[in-house]
Structure 1
Amino acid sequence: MRLSLLIFGLILSFALQAKTITLDSLSKEQSKKPNVIFILADQWRAQELGYAGSENVITPNLDALAEESLVFHNAVSVSPVCTPWRASFMTGQYPLTNGIFYNDKPLPTEALTAGKIYKEEGYHTGYIGKWHLNGHPRGADSFASRDLPVPKERRQGFDYWKVREVTHNYNNSFYFDENNEKHFWEGYDVFPQTDSAISFINKNTDHPFFLMLSYGPPHDPYFSAPEEFKKLYHEDQIKLRPNVPEELQDSARHVLAGYYAHCTALDKAIGDLLSALDEAGLKDNTILVFSSEHGDMLLSKGVLKKQRPWDESIKVPLLIRYPDRYGNSRKDIYDPINTPDLLPTLLGMSKIEIPNTMEGTNFSKQLKMEKDLGNEAALVMLPVPFHEWKFMNGGREYRGIRTRRYTYVKDLLGPWLLYDNEKDPYQMNNLVGKEEFRQLQEELEQILQAKLTKTNDAFLPADRYMEMWNYLYDHPGGRSDSTRLENYLQINRND
C-alpha cells in the first residue's frame, strides 16, 4: 500500500513538474510576441513637429522618440478625414472596399479588424479615447449618435474599453467602460487617458497586448488646451508657411498658437507613457507607433481643416519604434506609405499571418533589410465631400497620388493639380496643363489609373456611392443634382 502511494506520489510530482515546465514554456513563448501600442492623434499634420523641421512647435518627447524610430517622411492618409482613415487602418482596406468613405457611417460588425486579429493571436486588447467607427442607423442624427455607448459586439475585438464615439470638448469629456457605464475624464482628457493607458500596460507586463490610445487633440477647437501650454506660444513669434494668404496671416497665427498648445500637451502625455514603458521593462519588445488620421490646412491656401488633397491635409506624422527588430537609432523612410499599408506592416512585424481581406502592403521585410519601401505612390481619394467641405462649400470628388516628389490629382472633369514638391514644397505653382510638363502629367496619370484599376475604383460621382451603400447626406446642401453639379464643376474648373 505504501509502495503504491509512493509510486503515485512520484508520478504526480513528475506530472506537476512537466505541467510547470509546459506552462513556463508557454509563458516564455507568449513573452516573445511583441506588444503593440498605437498612439493616434487627430488632425496633427506632418509638418508640425520639431523632428520634421518645424521652427514653431515644442515637441521634445516626440523628437527624442524619432531619434530611436523609423521616421516616415511621406505617410499619406488615403482619405484625409476621420472615420474613413480609421476604417481603412482597422481593416487594411481602401474606403470603397469597406464602404466607409463618409464620417459617422458604421463599420460592419463582421469586419475583420486589428483588434480581432490580435485577440485571436492571444493578445490582450485595449482601446482608449475616440472611436468614431460605430456610426448611426440610416436617418438618425449623426451628431447625437456620437454621445451613445458602443455595443459590445461592435467593439471590433477590443476588451479593455474606455471610449467615447466622438467628442472635441476635451475639458468636459466622458467615456463608457466595458459595461457601458458612463464616467468622466478629470480635467484635460489627454492626461487621464494616458494614465489609463499606463495602467493597462502595467497590468499586462507578463502578457502580450495590443493597445490603441486615440487622442482628440490637436483637432479643433484650437483654444482649449491647458493654460500652461497656451502660455508657451506667442502669436507674434509664429512663422507661417508661405502659402498662407497675406490677408489671413494674423488669423493663422492666432489659430496656430492654440493648435501648437494642444500639440505640446500631447507631447508631454506621450513622454509620460514612454517613461512608464521604460519603467515596466517593455521598451525593446514593444512596437510603438505614433501617427495621425489626417492633417489640417490651418489657413494654408486660405482654408482650415482637412479633406483637401494638399500636403497640409494628406500628410501625417508616422514613427515606428521597435528596438528588438530595428535597433535604437533613427532610420529615415522617404517612399510613400498609405493608410491601408499600416496594419499589414504591423502584422508582419508581429509575425502574424496577413488575412487575404487586406489590400494594403506589408513593408516589414523592406524595413528589416534597412531599405526604402520600393513603393511608387500612395493613393489619395475623396469619394464624397461632406460637412465643412460639402458641395455648397466648394467640395469636390477627387482621386490622386502622392509620390516622393510629385502630387497629381484629378476631379470629375480631369486633371486638377500637379506639383513638383521638391521644387515647390508649399504647392504654390500648379503645373497641370503646361506643355513642358505634359509627359510628366501623362506618366503620373498612368500611375493613378493603375492604382484605380487595382482597387476597382471607377471614380463615379458622389451620389452614386451614396446610393450604392444606402447612405444619406447628413446635412442639407450635401446632396448634389445635375444642375448643382454642373455649376460646381464650372466654378471650380480653373482652381
Structure 2
Amino acid sequence: MISKYQYVIRLSVVGIVLAMATGFVWKVDSPLPPRKPNIVIVLADQWNAQSLGYAGNPDVKTPNLDKLAQRSVVFTTAVSVMPVCSPARASLLTGQYPLTHGVFYNDRPLRNEALTMAEIYKEAGYATGYIGKWHINGQANYEKQFAARNRAVPRDRRQGFDYWKAREVTHDYNSSFYFDENDVRHEWPGYDAFSQTDSAIRFIDRNKGNPFLLVLSWGPPHDPYQTAPEEYRKMYDPARLKLRPNVPDSLQAKARKDLAGYYAHCTALDKAAGDLLNALKKAGIEENTILLFTSDHGDMLYSQGKVRKQKPWDESVLVPLLVHYPAGFGNTKKELALPFSNVDILPTLLGITNIKIPGSVEGTNYAAILAGKQKPTGNEAALIQVPVPFHENNFLNGGKEYRGIRTKQYTYVRDLKGPWLLYDNAKDPYQLKNLIGSPAYAKVQAKLEKALRAKLADAKDQFLTADEYMRQWNYRYDGKDSLRVSGL
C-alpha cells in the first residue's frame, strides 16, 4: 500500500520520463525574476560640475565621461547639501541631513547607530565593497587635529562594507597607502586613483555572478593640483585656458596655473572611468548595473575670488551627476535640471531597486522621474547647509553660518543676519549680480524665502549659531576655528 503522496510523486516521475521521450516541452507561465541590479558609485573629491566636457567646458579633456553622458541620465543641477568632504559623504551614505547624522564638521565620526547604504543593501543580499577615501571616521575631541587620518578604520566603523581597501584621508596621490579587511597596511602603486580602479575591477570580476554594491572613492581632483601623472599635466598649458568671467583679474595668473593641474587630475580620472566602464562591459553586466558618477562637492578655483569649498556659489555647490542604467533607463541621454541633492541619492537608489526606504532616510526618492514615469513639478529645491564654518573657511577667514536653496533657476541664501544672496542663474550663470532687495525680484525673493523655510522645517534645522551645534554634539573646534563671538 502506498500513500497518496507517494502515488503523486510516482505519477510525476513517469510524466517527466514520457515527456523526455516524446520531446514534449512544458511552457513556463512565470519567468524567473530578473536579477537585482548591481550598483557602482564612483565618487570623486572636489570635482565641480563645470569641469567636464559634456557640461560645455571647451578646455578640459574628459572623453570617456562625455561618451557615458550620451547614454545616461545627466543632472545639470546636482547639489552638495553641505559642500565639504565629511558631511557630504555621510549624507550620501545615510540619506540624512548633516544636522541629523551629526557630521557637519570635517573629521568627526559618523555614529555606529546610523543606518547606511551598505547595511541596507547587505540585508537585501548584496555583496558590499569600498575602495579609496573614507573620511567619516574622525578622531575623538581630545585627540590632535587629523589624528585619525592615517589609522585603520576598525571593522565595526565601516558602516556595512565588507570588501575594504580604504584609508581615512590622504592627498598624497603618488605615495598612498590603504588598509585591507584585516587592518593590514598596503601601498597603492603609482597614482592611487589608477590602482584603486584596478582594485574595483577585481571586485567586479569576483562578484559579477551576484548582486553587489561598490563605492570607488577617488582623492583627486582635490588639491594639491600639480600632482597628476606627467603625461596628463603636459596636456594643459595654463596660458591657453579660458577662465570663468567671475575670476578677478588679480587672481587670473594663479587661477590658470591651478586650473591646469586640476584639469590634469580630471583627465587622469576620466581614463580610470573608461577602464571601469570597459570592465563592466567585459564582465557582461553593464546593462544590469546602476553606475553613478558624482563628487562630494565642487571647487571655487578663484571664482568670486574664493578657493575650494564650503561656499554657497555654484562652483562649490554644484557637482557632476550621471546615472547610467541601460536595463532601467535605456541608452540615450536624458537631461534633468531637477535640483538633486546627495541626500537624495540613497532613497532614489532604493526606489530604483525596489527596496523599502527606511524611516531614517530624509532625502527624496526621484526614481520615477529618472525612469520617465513622472515629470518634475518645477518647484523642487535642494537645501544647502553650513552650520559651522571651519578650517580654511573659519570665522577669521570670513566664513559664516548660512542656509540656502538651489532651484532650477535661482540661488537664495540667508546668514544669521538675514537674506544674503539671490541670483537668477538663468540670466546670470556666473552669479555676478546679487539681487537681494531688488524691487524687480521682491516677489521671487519672498517665494524663495518661503521655500527655504519649508526645507528647514523638513530638515528639522532651527538655524542656530555654530557654537550651539558644537555644544549640542559635544564637539570641540580645531585650532583657531572658534575665535569669534557667537551670532556676529
Structure 1-normalised TM-score?
0.91
How far the C-alpha of 1:371 sits from its partner, in A, is: 4.3
CA contact (8 A) 1:463 1:480 kept: no
How far the C-alpha of 1:79 sits from its partner, in A, is: 0.4
How far the C-alpha of 1:438 sits from its partner, in A, is: 1.5
The amino acid that maps onto 1:312 is E
The structure 1 residue matched to 2:284, chosen from 244, 265, 281, is 281
Name the residue aligned to 1:134. Answer: 137
How far the C-alpha of 1:478 sits from its partner, in A, is: 2.7
SS at match of 2:437: coil
CA contact (8 A) 1:42 1:216 kept: yes
Name the residue aligned to 1:491. Answer: none
The structure 2 residue matched to 1:36, chosen from 27, 34, 39, is 39
Name the residue aligned to 1:201. Answer: 204
Separation of aligned partners in 1, 2:119 and 2:483: 35
Name the residue aligned to 1:86. Answer: 89
Name the residue aligned to 1:323. Answer: 326
The structure 2 residue matched to 1:473, chosen from 467, 471, 477, is 477
Separation of aligned partners in 2, 1:372 and 1:311: 24
The amino acid that maps onto 2:398 is G
CA contact (8 A) 2:243 2:252 kept: yes
The amino acid that maps onto 2:232 is F
Equivalenced residues, count: 463
Deviations 1:281-303 (A, max 9, x none): 00000000000000000000111
How far the C-alpha of 1:480 sits from its partner, in A, is: 2.8
Instruction: Kindly report which structure 2 residues correspond to 1:415-454, keeping only aligned pairs within 5 A, or say none.
Output: 415-454=419-458
Name the residue aligned to 2:27. Answer: none
The amino acid that maps onto 1:242 is P
How far the C-alpha of 1:144 sits from its partner, in A, is: 2.2
Q: Is 1:191 paired with 2:194?
A: yes
Separation of aligned partners in 1, 2:188 and 2:375: 41
Deviations 1:64-100 (A, max 9, x none): 0000100000000000000000111111011111111
CA contact (8 A) 1:377 1:404 kept: yes
Q: Is 1:99 paired with 2:102?
A: yes
Separation of aligned partners in 1, 2:116 and 2:376: 24
CA contact (8 A) 1:135 1:142 kept: no
The amino acid that maps onto 2:402 is Y
Name the residue aligned to 1:51. Answer: 54
Q: Which moved more, 1:111-120 or 1:140-149?
A: 140-149
The structure 1 residue matched to 2:398, chosen from 394, 397, 406, is 394
Separation of aligned partners in 1, 2:323 and 2:476: 38
Deviations 1:93-115 (A, max 9, x none): 11111111110111001210001
Q: Which moved more, 1:439-448 or 1:208-217?
A: 439-448
SS at match of 1:146: helix
SS at match of 2:150: coil
SS at match of 1:319: strand
The structure 1 residue matched to 2:219, chosen from 216, 221, 236, is 216
Q: Is 1:161 paired with 2:164?
A: yes
Name the residue aligned to 1:364. Answer: 367
Q: What RMSD over aligned residues (CA atoms) do the two structures have, in Å? A: 1.7
Separation of aligned partners in 1, 2:286 and 2:376: 25
Separation of aligned partners in 2, 1:289 and 1:187: 25
Name the residue aligned to 1:237. Answer: 240
Instruction: Kindly report which structure 2 residues correspond to 1:247-258, keeping only aligned pairs within 5 A, or say none.
Output: 247-258=250-261
List structure 1 runs of 4+ shifted beyond 4 angstroms.
none
Q: Identity rate of aligned residues, in percent?
A: 59
Separation of aligned partners in 1, 2:210 and 2:305: 49
SS at match of 1:196: helix
CA contact (8 A) 2:138 2:148 kept: yes
Deviations 1:290-323 (A, max 9, x none): 0000000000011110000000000000000000
Name the residue aligned to 1:20. Answer: none
CA contact (8 A) 1:162 1:176 kept: yes
Separation of aligned partners in 2, 1:267 and 1:371: 32
How far the C-alpha of 1:136 sits from its partner, in A, is: 1.0
How far the C-alpha of 1:368 sits from its partner, in A, is: 1.5
Separation of aligned partners in 1, 2:355 and 2:430: 40
The structure 2 residue matched to 1:270, chosen from 261, 270, 273, is 273
Structure 2-normalised TM-score?
0.93
Name the residue aligned to 1:489. Answer: none
Deviations 1:18-51 (A, max 9, x none): xxxxxxxxxx65x610000000000000011000
CA contact (8 A) 1:391 1:478 kept: yes
Deviations 1:367-416 (A, max 9, x none): 21254433521100100000110000000000000011000000000000
SS at match of 1:197: helix
SS at match of 2:252: helix
Q: Is 1:298 paired with 2:308?
A: no
CA contact (8 A) 1:333 1:372 kept: no
Unaligned runs of 5+ in 2: 1-5, 17-31
Unaligned runs of 5+ in 1: 1-6, 18-27, 487-495
